[in-house]
Amino acid sequence: MALRFAEAGSNLELVDINIDGLNAVKEELARFNVEVNVHRVDLTRKDEIDALWDRLRGREPDILVNNAGVYPFKSLMEVDEQFLEKVMWINLKSVFWMCRYMIERRIDRGGVIINVGSIEALLPFEKELAHYTLTKAGVIALTRAIAKEYGEKGFRANVIIPGGIMTPGIERTATELTRKGVNTQEIFQRFMARIPLCRLGDPDEVARMALVLASDLASYVQGALIPVDGGFLST
């Protein structure tokens, strides 16, 4: 997403807990004539989110993309309060506060909000993801509420619904599950059987949709759920 937005001429405020990763992305973006600032933020901490927006005061972005998320497998019976709270903060509560600050700071100017949901929120497919499904369903509900309430203030808010995107995080999860004795090959085969395009997606295919939603090409798209899933939800 950072690459696509930079290519389109956007200045960027990049946020992640991994500062080394942020700096690597910043170096990669050096070939584009845009300003890139990086911010190490632990999205499980409200005070760090507050501090981020304090640093952004006076130069608040007009486009907000909430793309942080974790995808840990754990049985419903094994989820404890600490685990659930961490997943809730990263996947949902941080999205709430980032959106709130965006709207508060730009209430007279409007802006674009793009949140990232998941096919799991609409069609739970795999076991041991009830906590994840809960948070992504919350992201959808939050986005649609914002679209309804703040559209008249000039805010457009939509949700991308990715599915089957081959990211480094998914690769790490598959490796971890295999180590635990889970038959990941069987899961993969069942998942692929539902995808009409017969392949996994590339992160850039999600990034391109984010760019469209951020642009005037999507000027009349509001409160929408946009699947980028190879057709998974259609079958």
User: Catalytic residue among 118, 150, 153, 180, which?
Assistant: 118
For the chain, the residue count is 235
For residue 136, indicate whether it is catalytic: yes
Among residues 96, 70, 98, which one has the least CA distance to residue 84?
Answer: 70
Strand-pair category, 12-16 with 63-66: unpaired
For residue 118, indicate whether it is catalytic: yes
C-alpha 176: how far from chain center: 22
User: Catalytic residue among 132, 148, 180, 219, which?
Assistant: 132
126 in helix, strand or coil?
A: coil
| Tokens representing residue 193 in the block | 């059987």
Alpha helix segments (H runs only) across the chain: 2-7, 19-28, 46-55, 81-88, 94-105, 130-150, 168-179, 184-192, 203-214
In angstroms, the CA 120 to CA 44 distance is 22
For residue 101, indicate whether it is catalytic: no
What's at 191, amino acid-wise? F
In angstroms, the CA 167 to CA 68 distance is 13
| Tokens representing residue 41 in the block | 């933020």
First to last CA, the chain: 28
Instruction: Name residue 165's beta-bridge partners.
Output: 201
Within 10 angstroms of residue 217's Cβ, the number of other Cβ atoms is: 10
User: Catalytic residue among 136, 153, 215, 234, which?
Assistant: 136
**Residues acting as catalytic residues:** 118, 132, 136
